Amino acid sequence: MGEAVTAAELLYGMPLLRSVTGGDGGGAEPGGCGALLAELKQLWGEIGKSREERERMVRDLEAECMRVYRRKVDEATGERALLHQSLAAGEAEIAALTAALGAENSPQLKVNKWTMSLTERVSSATCLLEELRTIRAERSRQFADIKWEIEKISAEIAGRSYVYEGSPRASEVEEHDLTIRRLNEYKARLTNLQKEKSDRLHRVLEQVTEVHSLCDVLGEDFIAIVNEVHPGLHETADPGKPTSISDSTLGSLAQVVAMLASEKAKRAAMLREAVVPLVELWELMDSPEEERRGFRKVTAVLNPDKDEALSSGVLSVATINKTEEEVERLTRLKAGRMKELVLKRRLELENICRSMHVEPDASTVPEKSIALIDSGLVNPSELMASIDDQIAKAREELQSRKDIMDRINKWLLACEEEQWLEEYNMDENRFSTGRIARLNLKRAEKARLIITKIPAIVDNLMSRTLAWESERKKPFLYDGARLVAVLEEHKQARLRQEEERRRLREQKKLRTLLSEKEAMPHLKRPGSSFGRGCAEPCAVNRKRVDAARPAPSVRSGASSSGSGSSGGGAAELLRPRSSAAGAGAGHCGEFLKGARRLSGPPFSYAAVPKGGGGMSSSLALS
């Protein structure tokens, strides 16, 4: 019994009731079983219990204690069995969830059976199980959503109707394999389907847009044509329905696009056949912009590069019929307006030639053109084409002559300034006071500077003209005369004027010397033969000088200094030497008058031989 009690004390850490008789009677712990035994022993002594009664009562107490301990042991054993069972079930479920979710991506149960109690192990397993269940639910939801998206897109591609009934239940998803690998496979499949859907949707939208563009150009009903393919392809369709992307829809759209493109090409050819004569009639009859504006959009069909930019309804049946009717109307009006158009074109040609100072081609003069049209010998269209060709050549000629013409105008303006300066120098009142006199004096100063540049202007103009003739292989004509010949004659005239000026200055000096000798009779020596016959020799010499002077002419411009006139001599002295080269101002003025006229033989754009430089000049200085 003592060994059992000792074993019980060691096992449960609780002291049992010791036998009263076999005890050592030592001091028991106060308030414990020993104190109670000591108190019971005292009570038994006072009562007078015998030893046998005391031992029997102690054995009863020990038996009762054993029953209590046994009951507690049985309860603890049952609880331990339940914990083992719960732990085994949890570990089994954990293993199943871990296998379904993937061991590499799932949390693991970490326990130490030597240091942790069953309750702690069960608690850890329960927490891990709840976490795995949460992960499985989320994973199941992801699988369900992805599978639903895959089935929906597959139905759209196949052309089947797919009714949305909400997210599928978790039981519909295979839960034995919820690994990340399998989820990624589903995602990859969904991505491929979404890409295919996007490509198909893009192709459908492109074809629908092309159908809309073709219908807009052709003037057809877009909604009616698209409804024949699929009702959900236009904007007025039910927005809740997805756009059809099936193979049948794509094939039908391709057929519609091909049919509309063929119709567009056929109508474009019909419209082009009507627009070409329409444009020709516009140009031929010089139709106003008001008449052309209504048909301006149909002319875009003539440029193949702009087929995609055709305006709305330009290829409709109504537009084609309207264009053909306009062509018929202009054709009826063409016969009555050809004479007016020919004369207008001829006037345009004459204006261009007048600006170049050349004669237009005489083969299309108004009188001859009208006679040919009335006689019916020439087609008015061919005559118009001939005049248009002449106008094109004249414009090209005008562009090539522009630089030389500008320098000719500069030269003529310098000649005008020279003529004005000569008239100004002849004015006896030019030195009077007043605002106009001051302005004229300033202009005279500027004119003298301009006149000094005339030789350089002429030389530069001649070099450029010769370069032009060498490039074009024909002479540069100005009012029917070769410009180089006119410039050369102008240079010779200026040289003759310089020579004449020099002779006039020498004669003037001689007259001045003679006048001084006549005014100094006291210098005559007595008995000198010169003094005795002075009057007669002086008169004879004066007559010889007067006879040697050339008569004034318009060419030389020497009329400004009359013979023997003191006023002319004063004007000559007041003219600056820088304007001596401009003594040919009268010639420049006469050249200016001749250059402003259209004279000379008719000019044709036919090639002129290079020897044409010897032809007579209508701008010859007279």
In order, the DSSP letters of 122-154 are HHHHHHHHHHHHHHHHHHHHHHHHHHHHHHHHH
The top-scoring range by mean pLDDT among 116-130, 373-387, 529-543, 599-613 is: 116-130
Domain layout of the chain by residue ranges: 35-136, 338-517
For the segment 128-139, the average pLDDT, to the nearest whole number, is: 86
Q: How confident is the model at residue 114 (pLDDT cuts 50, 70, 90)?
A: low
Q: Which of 93, 128, 98 lies closest to 110, judged by CA?
A: 128
> Which two three-digit tokens encode residue 237?
């369709």
Higher pLDDT, 244 or 57: 57
pLDDT, residue 67, reads 92
pLDDT, residue 108, reads 62
Q: Which of 592, 195, 190 lies closest to 420, judged by CA?
A: 592
Q: Is residue 69 pLDDT above 80, yes or no?
A: yes
Across 44-58, 131-145, 275-289, 363-377, least confident range: 363-377
For the segment 585-603, the average pLDDT, to the nearest whole number, is: 41
* Those residues with Cβ within 8 angstroms of residue 224's Cβ, 6 or more apart along the chain or in another chain: none
pLDDT, residue 503, reads 93
Q: Is residue 189 pLDDT above 80, yes or no?
A: yes
- 184 close to 140: Cβ distance less than 8 angstroms: no
At residue 410, φ and ψ (nearest 5 deg) are -65, -40
Q: How confident is the model at residue 192 (pLDDT cuts 50, 70, 90)?
A: very high
Give me the percent of the chain exceeding a pLDDT of 70. 71
**What are 432-448's pLDDT values in tens digits?**
878 888 898 899 999 99
For the segment 294-321, the average pLDDT, to the nearest whole number, is: 79
Global confidence as pTM: 0.43
For the segment 296-300, the average pLDDT, to the nearest whole number, is: 84
Q: Is residue 320 pLDDT above 70, yes or no?
A: yes
For the segment 221-239, the average pLDDT, to the nearest whole number, is: 71
Q: How confident is the model at residue 35 (pLDDT cuts 50, 70, 90)?
A: confident
Q: Which of 241, 152, 139, 221 lies closest to 180, judged by CA?
A: 139
Residue 288 burial (10 A CB sphere; 0-12, 13-18, 19+): exposed
